[in-house]
């Protein structure tokens, strides 16, 4: 029997009666007192799957893959050319699968905008009609293939989640075939992820706006911004290491989900020389730099696909209960876990608590929306709140709340990130790898940072705030993994 601790100083963890912790502390011994609360779901401990797979080992492999991945911006491309499985007449959206009839206002608005942008419809009404027809077909009403919309014959649209195509999109997350997208490569595992370019604030497609100026801006992005950035990135040897920029931004007060000031600045700094060298037109250079500089969230559309590229290699590890996807479509919140990659576990999307722009209230808010929660899945965003104390202002909090938020997330995560570090927590790694078992055991659901869209299409962002993921998704995933007997 090795009882080497007979020679070591005692350090105690107390789970239960506080008096025991107090009396140990009174003897000058370091003691950590756990704030134990029973699982609200009366869930047994899961150590093995029904098939006998060691969950702990599977999860260790999942988080090892996520932490050891690379995320390098290698270039840009047009969605139809670069996104696997992207076809004409296809529209990708945020969150789990959904049909037109159940889509929320902003997602419908963004789809209408995409139809106008692609030239599939000449008016918002035509676009809605086109989209609705497809929706009806998807829910089972046979319309016989092509249909007449306005004066032209249009093939039916097909809606699929971005996540089914290695892509992610903020808010409505709409990607249509002609849109330019970032290409992020995970060199360690050979996979790629995609995301559109961030349009900026105000009236923008991702919040469901489809006014002419929205479409005009998208066209400018396609014809001017995209080629300029693509040339610049491709001229840079080895591209731009986005994972590295995220790690730096976390040192600078970003959590790279709801705050991207530092990340955007770092990116601009990284790309500016190449941009100047590869673009012949000074005015274009100036406008590109201006566009990036005036949008504090420009980096979000890089941090998101980076997160996607990092998490995807964990998908398909048998028995792993680590969350690889959290995404919302404005109606439903869905998660997927590493051990069951094809399966969505869905619950109604939550309401965001936050600050509203002048003239708007909670009554105007659409439920939680977007694929941006991929950041929390990958070990930053809400997980790294302690590194971004400025964000707690959204809910009237104090910096201590930001620290507490991250500390709480350690309770439900499998490990700590080896690269995404948090200075305020003595450079501890950010919590990484949400484990559905721990969510169910503790009743603590992941904290999310997010923007708030108006519930009506075409209005745009009305605020920003914080919320938690609906725990029902995690309970459903847990139940799916739970073996019939409690096996340790």
Binding window for another protein (CB under 8 A); candidates: 5-13, 121-129, 375-383, 451-459: 5-13
- Taking the complex as a whole, the smallest distance from the CB of residue 19 to another protein amounts, in Å, to 6
Nearest distance from C-beta of residue 51 to another protein, angstroms: 21
According to DSSP, the β-strands at 90-93 and 158-161 are parallel
Q: How many CB atoms lie within 10 A of CB 385?
A: 34
Nearest by Cα to 200 from 241, 178, 170: 170
User: Is there binding between residue 185 and another protein (CB under 8 A)?
Assistant: no
If you search the block for the tokens 């789809």, which residue do you land on?
111
8 vs 282, which CB is nearer to another protein? Answer: 8
Q: Contact between 19 and another protein (CB under 8 A)?
A: yes
CB closer to another protein, 251 vs 357: 251
Nearer CB in complex with another protein: 186/301: 186
Residue 380 buriedness (CB in 10 A; 0-12 / 13-18 / 19+): buried
Query: Closest CB to another protein among 27 and 361?
Result: 27
**Site for another protein, residues 239 to 298, rule: CB under 8 A:** 241, 243-244, 247-248, 251
Stretch that binds another protein, among 14-22, 111-119, 159-167, 285-293 (CB under 8 A): 14-22
Smallest separation, CB 231 to another protein (Å): 21
Nearer to another protein (CB atom), residue 34 or residue 143: 34
What is the smallest separation between the CB atom of 400 and another protein, expressed in angstroms?
A: 7
255/263 Cα distance (integer angstroms): 9
Q: Which two tokens stand for residue 384?
A: 């790294």
Tokens representing residue 339 in the block = 């051990």
Is residue 160 a contact residue for another protein (CB under 8 A)? Answer: no
CA–CA separation, 187 vs 184, rounded Å?
9
Residue 110 or 402 with smaller CB distance to another protein: 402
Q: What angle separates helix 261-278 from helix 242-250, to the nearest 10 degrees?
A: 140
Nearer to another protein, 166 or 438 (CB): 438
- Alpha carbons 376 and 408: distance in angstroms, whole number: 13
Residue tagged 């919590």 (tokens): 431
Q: What span, in angstroms and rounded, lies between the C-alpha atoms of 257 and 301?
A: 9
Which position has the token pair 């997927």?
336
* Beta-strand runs (E) in 380-477: 413-422, 428-434, 447-453, 461-468
Interface positions, 428-487, toward another protein (CB under 8 A): 428-429, 438, 441-442, 444
Q: Does 426 contact another protein by CB under 8 A?
A: yes
Q: Which is nearer to another protein, 132 or 407 (CB)?
A: 407
Distance in Å, CB of 214 to another protein, minimum:
36
Residue 344, SS3? Answer: strand
**At which residue do the structure tokens 């699982």 appear?**
39
Site pattern 32..71 for another protein (x: CB under 8 A): xxxxxxx-----xx------------------------x-
- Give the one residue of 27, 142, 361, 485 binding another protein; rule: CB under 8 A: 27
The token duo for 414 is 């499998």
Torsional sign, CA 279, 284, 286, 290: negative
Told to check if 16 binds another protein by CB under 8 A, we report yes
* Six-digit token string for 375: 């950041």
Please give the residues from 403 up to 422 whose contact with another protein meets the rule CB under 8 A: 403-404, 407-408, 410-411, 416, 418-419, 421
Site string for another protein, 371-410 (x = CB under 8 A): -----------------------------x--xx--xx-x
User: Tokens in use for 282?
Assistant: 């000074």
| Closest distance to another protein from the beta carbon of 193 (Å) | 16
Task: Look at residues 187, 270, 286 and name the one whose alpha carbon lies nearest to residue 236.
Answer: 270
Dihedral (Cα; 336, 341, 343, 345), 10-degree rounding:
-10
Contact residues: another protein, CB under 8 A: 1-3, 5-6, 8-17, 19-21, 23-24, 26-27, 29-30, 32-38, 44-45, 70, 237-238, 241, 243-244, 247-248, 251, 400, 403-404, 407-408, 410-411, 416, 418-419, 421, 423, 425-429, 438, 441-442, 444, 488
């Amino acid at each position: 029997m090795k009882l080497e601790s007979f020679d070591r100083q005692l350090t105690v963890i107390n789970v239960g009666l506080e008096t025991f912790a107090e009396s140990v502390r009174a003897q000058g011994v370091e003691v950590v007192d756990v704030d134990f609360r029973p699982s609200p779901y009366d869930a047994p401990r899961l150590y093995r799957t029904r098939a006998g797979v060691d969950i702990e080992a599977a999860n260790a492999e999942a988080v090892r893959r996520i932490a050891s991945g690379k995320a390098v911006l290698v270039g840009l491309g047009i969605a139809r050319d670069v996104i696997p499985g992207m076809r004409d007449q296809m529209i990708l959206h945020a969150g789990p699968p959904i049909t037109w009839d159940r889509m929320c206002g902003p997602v419908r608005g963004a789809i209408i905008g995409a139809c106008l942008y692609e030239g599939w419809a000449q008016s918002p009404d035509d676009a809605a009609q086109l989209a609705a027809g497809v929706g009806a077909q998807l829910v089972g009403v046979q319309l016989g293939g092509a249909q007449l919309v306005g004066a032209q014959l249009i093939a039916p649209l097909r809606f699929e989640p971005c996540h089914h195509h290695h892509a992610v999109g903020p808010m409505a997350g709409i990607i249509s075939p002609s849109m330019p997208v970032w290409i992020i490569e995970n060199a360690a595992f050979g996979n790629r992820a995609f995301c559109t370019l961030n349009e900026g604030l105000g009236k923008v497609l991702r919040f469901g706006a489809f006014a002419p100026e929205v479409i005009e801006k998208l066209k400018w992005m396609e014809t001017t911004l995209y080629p300029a950035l693509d040339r610049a990135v491709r001229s840079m040897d080895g591209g731009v290491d986005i994972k590295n920029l995220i790690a730096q931004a976390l040192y600078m007060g970003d959590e790279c989900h709801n705050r991207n000031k530092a990340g955007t600045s770092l990116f601009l700094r990284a790309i500016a020389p190449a941009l100047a060298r590869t673009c012949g037109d000074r005015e274009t250079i100036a406008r590109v730099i201006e566009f990036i500089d005036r949008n504090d969230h420009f980096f979000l559309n890089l941090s998101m696909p980076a997160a996607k590229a990092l998490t995807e290699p964990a998908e398909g590890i048998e028995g792993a209960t680590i969350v690889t996807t959290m995404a919302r479509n404005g109606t439903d919140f869905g998660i997927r876990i590493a051990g069951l990659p094809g399966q969505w576990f869905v619950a109604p999307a939550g309401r965001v608590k936050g600050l509203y722009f002048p003239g708007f209230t909670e009554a105007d808010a659409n439920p939680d929306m977007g694929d941006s929660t991929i950041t929390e899945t990958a070990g930053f965003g809400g997980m790294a709140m302690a590194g971004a104390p400025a964000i707690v202002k959204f809910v009237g909090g104090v910096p201590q709340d930001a620290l507490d938020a991250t500390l709480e997330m350690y309770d439900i995560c499998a490990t700590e990130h080896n690269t995404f570090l948090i200075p305020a927590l003595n450079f501890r790694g950010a919590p990484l790898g949400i484990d559905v078992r721990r969510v169910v055991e503790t009743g603590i659901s992941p904290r999310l940072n997010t923007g708030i869209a108006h519930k009506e299409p075409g209005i745009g962002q009305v605020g920003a705030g914080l919320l938690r993921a609906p725990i029902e998704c995690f309970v459903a995933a847990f139940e799916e993994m739970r073996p019939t007997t409690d096996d340790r």
